[in-house]
Amino acid sequence: MKKLLIVSIFFVGILACVQRIEEKKISEATPSNSVRIKESNTPEGFLRYEYYINGNKAADYIKTYYTKGGQLESVYYMSSYQRDGISSQGFYPDGKLKFIRYVRDEVKKGDVLYVNYYPNGQINHIETIVTDSLELPKLTTIYFENGVKQYEGFMDMYNATTIPVGLWKTYDEKGDLIETTYYHPDEFGKDYKIVTQYK
């Protein structure tokens, strides 16, 4: 039993040394005093993300996520000094843009917060600010793959849930209005919607 304990302690010591060596390998200082960490010890054994810390600002980073095959999946940006611009992007396996999310410091009506794309590059879904504030409601527009508008309406927060509110319009693939739905949020059981069909 004593030999087993000594052998166990020996192996734990070796594993700790190997782990420190691996940490040293994956953490490398660059001339700009940035630290880059590659996380490769996932259960699948593939590079899952890279993490960058810029200078002394620990809040500033770029996280890059990859698929099992090593293809770029998404990139997240965080900056303590730049609060207006792109906060994250996602990509399809062929490298085409899948989504882009923006962060806004000073917002104004018409600013885009989020865009999602079809694989062919056509916009699928877009969220736009409708007031001079980041507060909801936000205008949500969804498109068919041919670029024609499919749905348009407002999303708002009610009872800690983001839900459709007000008038939503539904179009066919030719762009003709086929239905409107009016959502009226209220207490559970008192909420209602009015649907009007045009075809």
pTM: 0.61
Domain range for 35: 26-82
pLDDT at 179 exceeding the cut of 60: yes
Predicted confidence at residue 138, as pLDDT, reads 81
Res. 93: pLDDT tops 70: yes
Q: For the chain, what is the mean pLDDT?
A: 69
Rounded to the nearest 10°, the torsion over CA 182, 186, 188, 189 is -60
The pLDDT value recorded for residue 146 is 93
134 and 182 in a common domain = yes
pLDDT in tens, 37-82: 555 555 555 555 555 555 434 445 667 777 777 777 877 766 554 5
Non-local CB neighbours of 83 within 8 Å, separated by 6+ positions = 103, 104, 105
Closest CA to 115 of 107, 105, 127, 104: 127
Which of residues 67, 82, 97 is at a domain's end?
82
Considering the domain architecture, whether residues 129 and 169 belong to the same structural domain is answered as: yes
Q: Distance between CA 98 and CA 94 in Å, rounded?
A: 10
* Structure confidence by residue, pLDDT tens digits, 118-162: 999 999 999 887 665 555 578 899 999 999 999 999 888 776 677
Is 130:109 a contact under the CB 8 Å cutoff? yes
